[in-house]
Amino acid sequence: MRIEMLVFDGVDEMDVMGPFEVWSLAAGRSDLEVALVGLDGPVEVTGMHGLQFKAPEGLGTPNAVFVPGGGWLNRAERGSWAEARRGVLPARLAELGPRLDWVGSVCTGSMLLAEAGLVKGRPATTNRNAWDEFEAFGPVLKKNRVVDDGNLVTAGGITAGIDLALRIVERELSPELADRIARSMEYTRDGDIYLS
């Protein structure tokens, strides 16, 4: 399974780095593959807090796409709010979504999935500070840390992305591997998962 993590200027660094750590550890013990990708090709990104990093590839033909957030709540000039206004990323997600094994998000990355029309009528979550706005897109809002609705997997704010990543490892590979990775990261799994 290949997971492509879409990154963009203004992304919240923890939204990216937590899940990337989990999936990178899983990749070393399975056939899972994880890549940071830019929407339009390789990109150098400056995160919300100034961390600079590279996505060496562009969005390709993955099995799954993961969308982080950042910059939505404060309507930042760079971040998920800006990407929604630009419109290209939500349009691409709307096109890709139905063909993927799953699409996922953490924090206000869920707002980009909402803009793409991928959450309407489905159990989903986002950062608690965006719940009211999120509900306007028509999801069945769940206030859990992670919401697993099969081919749509969403997580609440920031660190919940680690729980989502571990849930994917548990679901797609094995519970034992997810537990081993959590222990190796000295991370205590929350367990607040809504399964539909």
Q: For residue range 63-107, what is the model confidence (pLDDT) as tens digits?
A: 999 999 999 999 999 999 999 999 999 999 999 999 999 999 999
Determine the pLDDT at residue 112: 98
Active site residues: 107
Determine the pLDDT at residue 179: 98
Determine the pLDDT at residue 57: 97
DSSP class of residue 106 equals E
Domain borders along the chain are 2-195
**Residue 120 contacts residue 101 (beta carbons within 8 Å):** no
61, burial (CB in 10 Å: exposed 0-12, middle 13-18, buried 19+): exposed
Determine the pLDDT at residue 17: 98
Give the C-alpha separation, 84 to 32, whole Å.
Answer: 29
**Residue 59 contacts residue 7 (beta carbons within 8 Å):** no
CATH number of 2-195: 3.40.50.880
Determine the pLDDT at residue 125: 98
Strand ranges, E, within 20-135: 33-38, 43-46, 52-55, 57-58, 64-67, 102-106, 123-124
Give the C-alpha separation, 164 to 39, whole Å.
Answer: 22
Determine the pLDDT at residue 155: 98
Cα separations in angstroms, 77 against 3, 122, 132, 156: 27, 29, 22, 22
Determine the pLDDT at residue 8: 98
Q: Which residues of the chain have pLDDT under 70?
A: none
Cα separations in angstroms, 54 against 39, 93, 141, 185: 13, 21, 33, 23
Give the C-alpha separation, 49 to 160, whole Å.
Answer: 18
